[in-house]
Amino acid sequence: MRKPGYVPNTAQMKLAEEVTRFAHGEEERFSIVDVSVSSGLFESKSAARRLLKQGGVYMNNERVDDENKRVEEGT
* Radius of gyration from C-alpha coordinates of the chain: 12
Rounded Cα distance between 37 and 14, Å, is 10
Task: Kindly tell me if the per-residue pLDDT of 8 is higher than 80.
Answer: no
Q: What are phi and psi of 47, to 5 degrees?
A: -65, -40
pLDDT in tens, 16-67: 887 777 777 655 678 889 888 888 888 999 999 999 999 988 888 889 888 8
Q: What is the pTM of this model?
A: 0.58
Look at residue 25 in the predicted model and tell me its pLDDT. Answer: 66
DSSP string, 30-59: -BHHHHHHHTTSSSSHHHHHHHHHTT--EE
d(CA 71, CA 25): 12
pLDDT exceeds cutoff 60 at 75: no
Give the pLDDT score at 15.
80
